[in-house]
Structure 1
């Protein structure tokens, strides 16, 4: 299969590697924005006078909209061409980034983050679908390896660049930095990307789109808002459980609708899931995101609140894992091209589990900044072996005309895995903190005078509900009211020690959940049919002048 061209324009055959560079630049901007925002949270909170709930929505509004629109955006790419949707997503994301930097209230920033999510959702599925069409099967693994290494670069650049920008220029510049990158990528996309049309005779399933969007919104909203609302009432008498249940019900109706209309043009072509590899990779993709978000959340709090690292230092401490992943990913892509992708993926997930288990074992109250380095290097090597085979195996047998829908589906499962992982690990960490902090307070209260021991334990127990919310600002439990002045210094020291010991113990217990999910994912790789990629039929790209019917 050769790289498709845009015959109407009369230009030479599109250079797939130049197109890949353009796609990766746009994808890099999306991922960078995700990692860079977390570093700026304290500065944004102070500058905008934002409450905790508002800060959570500044972070989560993007993820919510991004997740619910990915399937629809992938299908729109099939209908109208990935180039148009990629450029449109870039423009929306770039304009929204500028607006985020100019926001003067939390409400404005939340709104513009929603618009950013729309742009990111329009852009992301087009990267995978375009790579699938432009590259023949024997070269696709290397392309996916390069694409996957972008995640490692963004992970390194986000915390370090974000710490520098926030410190020297202010939080606004974490959004302004997207503007020149976005403009450059739009220009490159207009010049180098071929105008592929993969499914121009088909119609968009509006009913399926509405059901999928509403169902995913309710499910993701319930998971994100569960912890802030203590898994209780959220809208009047309506509870979080009812919201999630309604989301599951709507998604069930969506699946029934898709099956009933399977002879027409459903949003989710069930024929895609007849390919065992795509179905298994969809689950593994969700499990990987579950593990990444689940492991990252407690670890970042530990690095900053227990070890006392700054945001920039914490980012640099994690950077070796991302650098290792970035170096290995292209080589893993070449191995995936040789039809041993199943074993490459299995080895990668196993190394990742082993590396993070080592991190958990090494994490102690007195661990230094580089004390976790051995585990992070092993985990980073594992990640490098994961991304390229994952995409290669998932997309290997997908027909080019369904590449956009398949890309949207697998990206949606990835985002849903991230949301579920964040919610599940957050809830488990809260429960563990209640137990571990109280136990640490009782143990450390033996160093206090008898009259302040029980008030101290009660104060720690009462503070556990907010510990996870405070995040990087946590330095210890609040002191009990009415403490004599002569006890304050001792209480402060013991409270800090109690938090450090309690959080470390709670983190170790909590991280067993994402490690277990990743271990199951590694075993699931054995279900993959490990056969060489076969030749594909022509993709029949159409010139730009041929209108797409919708």
Structure 2
């Protein structure tokens, strides 16, 4: 979109991208709070009901690369519009579902739509916003993702209490259709089917895409580890109530919301490569702080470490997304954005599995609920010492 076009048109396009990222993030977080209610509503065991979450994440992971490639082939704005329609229809079906298995299938369809949303919003930034403001728009999208993550549980709980669990999904329909209307009206159109040759691994490495994806995976691994280990440390290690644990855990998303756009401005002002190193250094410092400070200062040490970690994370996100997408040929921008999303999702899976196993090993037991507070502290130390080492490795990879 050219700078000579009306400001309202550019704002409409950016609002569409922002709502698309918000929807994909809300779809991930808003359903979790409904799982206990759905267990009762469908009279089903938890191991079946948890597929409501798993189906969404699996579909999202499997389709991110395909969504990007389809965007390159048939037009990214057109495919984002398709994703918004699929997401909205699937959300409506989730609320109207007659049984658990239809709900799970609808959640998988919702995840497919979300794959288009998450991938193509990133791919459309440069042609929508203009090169001079890419960093700050990447920061805005990171902020919207954090808003969705933070808002989902509280909004979902409120809707369940006021109107019932179907409205956890119905609330997404008007937002999705509104974003679809904005996409139809304001997103820049491009002729589909005009693509450059497929980008080989060596070319991707030269453009910094593969190092960026590797760093993205390692960072996502670390951030998922905080979500897995944090509740155990705060609840069992320090003996806090669930309400207090929730309040402390919400600190990270709140910081993310506040610093997303400023970190984008920093990218535009200093350059993506320099800010990327600052972000990774902050992540390394935060991880090592999580390994050391809570054992000395308790919850106050934990809070300080999380603040350092979150500042580094948001700085990294804005810089890495900008740098990876900066020199990608137009015909492969969607596919590369999909690979970036895939690396993040694989990192989340790795953080939940591998780092969870490291935590159990450090605590000396696989039954964490029965572990003594000291054992939980040992597990936390080992987990984040290792995570800090992975951030040092990410610094090395991105400097090469």
Which of 87, 97, 103 matches 2:81? Answer: 87
Is this contact kept in 2: 1:129–1:400, CA < 8 A?
no
Which of 182, 185, 188 matches 1:191? Answer: 185
Is this contact kept in 2: 1:323–1:380, CA < 8 A?
no
Count of residue correspondences? 399
Measured after TM superposition, the shift of residue 520 of structure 1 is 1.7
Q: Does 1:100 align with 2:94?
A: yes
Aligned residue number for residue 405 of structure 1: 335
Aligned residue number for residue 30 of structure 1: 24
Aligned residue number for residue 309 of structure 1: 241
Q: 1:372 to 1:163 in 2, by over 3 A?
A: farther
Q: 1:394 to 1:299 in 2, by over 3 A?
A: same
Is this contact kept in 1: 2:81–2:183, CA < 8 A?
yes
> Aligned partners of 1:152, 1:192: CA distance in 2, in Å?
25
Aligned residue number for residue 47 of structure 2: 53
User: Helix, strand or coil: the match of 1:49?
Assistant: coil
Measured after TM superposition, the shift of residue 316 of structure 1 is 3.0
1:370-449 aligned within 5 A: 372-433=302-363, 435-436=364-365
Aligned residue number for residue 512 of structure 1: 385
Q: Tell me the TM-score normalized by structure 1.
A: 0.65
Q: Does 1:352 align with 2:283?
A: yes
User: Helix, strand or coil: the match of 2:124?
Assistant: helix
Q: 1:499 to 1:49 in 2, by over 3 A?
A: farther
Aligned residue number for residue 327 of structure 1: 258
Q: 1:162 to 1:140 in 2, by over 3 A?
A: same
1:118-517 aligned within 5 A: 118-197=112-191, 199-201=192-194, 266=198, 269-270=200-201, 272-304=203-235, 307-310=239-242, 313-338=244-269, 340-363=271-294, 367=298, 372-433=302-363, 435-436=364-365, 464=366, 476-477=369-370, 498-517=371-390
Partner deviation per Cα, 1:335-354 (whole Å, 9 max, x = no partner): 32245322212222222332
> Aligned partners of 1:26, 1:104: CA distance in 2, in Å?
28
Aligned residue number for residue 15 of structure 1: 9
Which of 389, 396, 400 matches 1:523? Answer: 396
Q: Which runs of 5+ in 2 are unaligned?
A: none
User: Helix, strand or coil: the match of 1:385?
Assistant: helix
> Aligned partners of 2:347, 2:150: CA distance in 1, in Å?
22
Q: 1:516 to 1:53 in 2, by over 3 A?
A: farther
> Aligned partners of 1:365, 1:61: CA distance in 2, in Å?
41
Measured after TM superposition, the shift of residue 378 of structure 1 is 1.9
User: Helix, strand or coil: the match of 1:99?
Assistant: helix
> Aligned partners of 2:215, 2:278: CA distance in 1, in Å?
14
Is this contact kept in 2: 1:349–1:521, CA < 8 A?
yes
Is this contact kept in 2: 1:329–1:385, CA < 8 A?
yes
Q: 1:154 to 1:353 in 2, by over 3 A?
A: farther
